[in-house]
Amino acid sequence: MARTFEDLVAEAGSVSVDGWDFSWLDGRATEERPSWGYARLLGERMAQASAALDVETGGGEVLAGVPRLAPRTVATESWPPNLALATARLRPRGVTVVATGDERRLPFGDGVFDLVTSRHPVTTWWEEISRVLQPGGTYFSQQVGPRTAMRLTEFFMGPQPAGSGRDPERAGAAAEAAGLEVRDLRMESLRMTFHDIGAVIYYLRKVIWIVPGFTVDRYRTELKALHDRIQADGPFLAHTTRFLIEARRPD
């Protein structure tokens, strides 16, 4: 027997969305992963680094999965619930997690790290990254690309203007303007599928920039319409984009 709309809404609206662990969606939603394998590449670079910084580490999920961390590894996080999760997860591995605020400055000295990483940062402070990197150091990041989940955004918010601040070419230009040399820059479009409205609610509560200001009460009419559509036509399909950028501070 299919679960009711109200049951799915109540369940997805009450579950915790702290951290960046999406395992609650197992069996309810799928998202393709980029072919380059960020976690594997991150592990390779960490194994060669002596001092590393992971910016916007979230709950520390990705960094905790690295087999061999740099001898001195530091992470930053600004959102208090994620900060607590990251500290609990990473402290046993010797990682210091530093709380940051909204100021556009990393709380570290010049030329401290030979590797700076970040997976899906909200913003990238290119001048600060360049400043804290040692000469010859590397910035390595997987980022959210343009028009990610736009089909989902437009279902709730209507047509959106063209263009995006999350463009890989713009990121490459900003890196070079900050004095870095871009060594790798590539993007892929990836399929995402939602099998029930609970998965949609959980995703929109967690990834807050897809539908800014999303709440179940505010969008109940649209949620019910999407629930009925999934029940009648099957899973809802959207696409994400991801880009990989690697940039080096010249010697």
Q: Rounded to the nearest 5°, which phi and psi values hold at 80?
A: -50, -45
Residues 112, 134: contact at Cβ < 8 Å?
yes
Provide the CB-side half-sphere exposure for 167 (13 A, CA).
8
pLDDT of residue 20: 84
Count of domains observed in the chain: 1
Could you tell me the CATH number of the domain that includes residue 30?
Answer: 3.40.50.150
pLDDT of residue 1: 61
User: In which residue ranges of the chain is pLDDT below 50?
Assistant: none
Residues 54, 213: contact at Cβ < 8 Å?
no
Tokens in use for 123? 């913003």
20-30: pLDDT as tens digits: 889 999 999 99
> Alpha helix (H) ranges present in 74-124?
80-90
pLDDT of residue 235: 98
Domain that holds residue 43: 5-248
